[in-house]
Structure 1
């Protein structure tokens, strides 16, 4: 594995799910008045602020998000950059994956009048920015950040990506003949004995354990380089499903160990499909793994996906795992602004316009659940082909699309 691949995987595994897009941030005030700075006056601009990881360990994800946002803004405004005659002004800020920096940037933008914020690649960032949004009564649409706690955190916070529960439900669908019931199934989580690994174990127990599955964990010290003993333990637990959550530069060694121990012959091995740059890291095991997927280029086959892909490609990039999150955020913002006739200062009206809204997104039909602002969406099960011998470029394809209701998280009480 090259040093570049190691760096890529380390960044990927640290996933916490953005750049600051100020689209005409304005001071809270009375909707429809030109004096509130909201863009309510005839032709007045609407300012939106986008705070994302332009730099830092999640920069690759942040870049995708920002590219998707710009494509989505162009799509939702039909190339005009305006909503009902109100020009959208976009201000971008870098949080570098640091919650403290993100909060500082968000406060500065709010101080300048922003009432709409988007972004947050990292869950740690989103969980800190969301309370700031509530305190200042501004609309906040979180991006790739996957922490379940973001859903229902407060009435001003929404999300444009998926959450961890939807990932785990997608993994659970590999169990059983119908892919719906996990009762009686045996699940082993293979992970490192770290905060990242323990969080995955806890999540699987919380979701699948409560549904009747027996969940065990095989945890390896993060410093371990000989992973054969842990591959053997995973195999000896005889699970129906082996859920792998692995971080760091030993990933290739892990997949090699699982292959050498012939684990794939005795159980279904599931892990998350990350961005395209990570595909070669699976080596010869790539074609044997069952992947849960939020998104990959070409997964959905929708008209909106084609529009996003065309726009991003024209800009010299390629759609990837979190490009739709930015695109969706832009769709949500334009809808909210249009529903309030450009009065971005009426935050309550912005919030109300999004609650219960269903629309055609990149992945298909999406719905913002009114009760807790979860984004209900389809998820994918996928496979990689073209790298059976550890050579060539692995390519993903959809094995199954899970409808939004099958992977929908339970309703979370609105905290504030």
Structure 2
């Protein structure tokens, strides 16, 4: 199964439709982060901080969970200088497998809280993240969602943060490739399914609000001949073709787009997913512009990316799309419990407005709604056959793709 647009909730579901607000803008960072890991403290006699992690270790989404966990452990290794001790406290990760079941995840969260765990993170599934966030709010414990991309985690409740990107940022990144969108024509090519229609809705909401005229070409799931659909695209003469595709026929689609001249007629953008999916575009890969949340090397080899990569490789793994989300989560947890191990209000205050350096560049936790402002990337693929390598074209600055501020904040940040 291959996906053309990366979505860490369900590989066959769409980017969540984005609810736009009237106001936009950025909140200034409250403080800067240190440029290196905290000095290690002696483990002997140190208190223990337990962090409950709920994510997929089994089921079809286990590879995503594995990436997230690898990044989390790499972050712990980096921040503790390999000791497992941060700020004089031994950090213990209590990992529960949600098996991509909302009911299981909710039970896991309640069980962890019942054990006295007040720091919870994880899940690659957006639907699960929303439910765990509700449990965290009910029990007034800190929750830092994992790779789940659903936009609605922003401004949901004051106890919920995120360590990954959100769908709005993905779509806005794609739109940035054509500059000013005012008067531009955007066509969404997708399957006539929940996945496809939700992508079309999301692109219209995000890029339409920036001035683009957005239409869609939806392909029946049973289609094997893509000629009628490529003809519609060519007739529309779009400035940007946004492709959102899920299924085993992705290679056939890209072959048709290539052979029938679509890739040469307009700028075509799709999401760069996990490393295993790189060959799915076939020979068309070199003609596509990719929006990327992350790929190995996107961080331009900064100290955080280098440390993460080294730790993951040492553990026998490979960095991938969602590995940075785990590393970033560990940075956020450490910053929170360094402020207080037991006062959730102090933890929230420490995170709100915090700017820090990380794997992908500079991150800022927006105080008003807890959106995680971060860069995304434009990439291209080079190679042939089954061997393709992503190359960085440019980083897209966080303020260029920042989600709009909510018109009605869910809580006061005063």
Match of 2:171 in 1: 168
Q: Determine if contact 1:83/1:337 at 8 Å carries over to the other structure.
A: no
The correspondence of residues 210-221 of structure 1 with structure 2, limited to 5 A, is 210-221=209-220
Q: Distance in 2 between matches of 1:169 and 1:182?
A: 11
CA apart distance, 1:98: 1.7
Q: Deviation string for 1:14-54 (max 9, x for gaps)?
A: 7417xxxxxxxxxxxxxxxxxxxxxxxx8331111000111
CA contact (8 A) 1:13 1:248 kept: no
Deviation at residue 362 of structure 1 after TM alignment:
0.3
Q: Which residue does the alignment assign to 2:398?
A: 404
Considering Cα pairs closer than 8 Å and 6+ residues apart, tell me whether 1 or 2 has the greater RCO.
2
User: 1:95: how far off?
Assistant: 0.9
How far apart are 1:10 and its partner, in Å? 6.4
Cα 1:196–1:92 change in 2 (3 A) is: same
Conserved in 2, the CA contact under 8 Å of 1:297 and 1:320? yes
Change (3 A) 1:289 1:171: same
In 1, the alpha carbon distance for the partners of 2:133 and 2:221 equals: 31
* CA distance in 2: counterparts of 1:401 and 1:15, whole angstroms: 21
Aligned to 1:23: none
Deviation of 1:84 after TM superposition, in Å, equals 2.4
CA distance in structure 1 between the aligned counterparts of 2:107 and 2:83, rounded to whole angstroms: 31
Structure 1: tracts of 5 or more residues without a match: 1-5, 18-41
Match of 1:242 in 2: 241
Distance 2:263 2:8 in 1: 26
Contact residue 11 and residue 58 of structure 1 kept, 8 A: no
Deviation at 1:222, TM superposition (A): 2.0
The equivalent residue for 2:17 is none
Question: Cα distance 1:14–1:165, how it changes in 2: closer, same or farther (>3 A)?
Answer: closer
* Paired residue total: 375
Describe the superposition over 1:283-306 as per-residue Cα deviations: whole angstroms up to 9, x where unpaired.
111001000000000111211111
For residue 171 of structure 2, give the secondary structure of its aligned residue in structure 1: helix
Structure 2 regions of 5+ residues with no counterpart? 11-44
Task: State the distance in 1 between where 2:214 and 2:272 align.
Answer: 22
Residue aligning to 1:297: 296
Shift of 1:64: 0.5
Tell me the secondary structure at the aligned position of residue 394 of structure 1: strand
Deviation at 1:378, TM superposition (A): 0.9
Q: Could you say which residue in structure 2 is the equivalent of 1:257?
A: 256
Aligned partner of 2:410 in structure 1 is: 415
Q: Call closer, same or farther: CA 1:76–1:14 in 2, change over 3 Å.
A: closer
* Counterpart residue number, 1:29: none
Quote the Cα distance in structure 2 between the aligned partners of 1:406 and 1:191: 25
Deviation at 1:209, TM superposition (A): 0.8
Aligned residue in 2 for 1:72: 75
* Structure 1 residue 80, shift from structure 2 partner: 2.0
SS of 2:270 mapped into structure 1: strand
Q: Of 385, 395, 409, which aligns to 2:389?
A: 395
Runs (4+) off by over 4 Å: 10-14
Secondary structure in structure 1 of the residue aligned to 2:222? coil
Q: CA RMSD in A?
A: 1.6
* Counterpart Cα distance in 2 of 1:57 and 1:234: 33
> Is 1:240–1:267's contact at 8 Å kept on the other side of the alignment?
yes
**2:354 aligned residue:** 357
User: What are the equivalent positions in structure 2 for 1:25-64 lying under 5 Å apart?
Assistant: 43-64=46-67
Name the residue aligned to 2:112.
109
Query: 1:146/1:13 Cα in 2 relative to 1: closer, same or farther (>3 Å)?
Result: closer
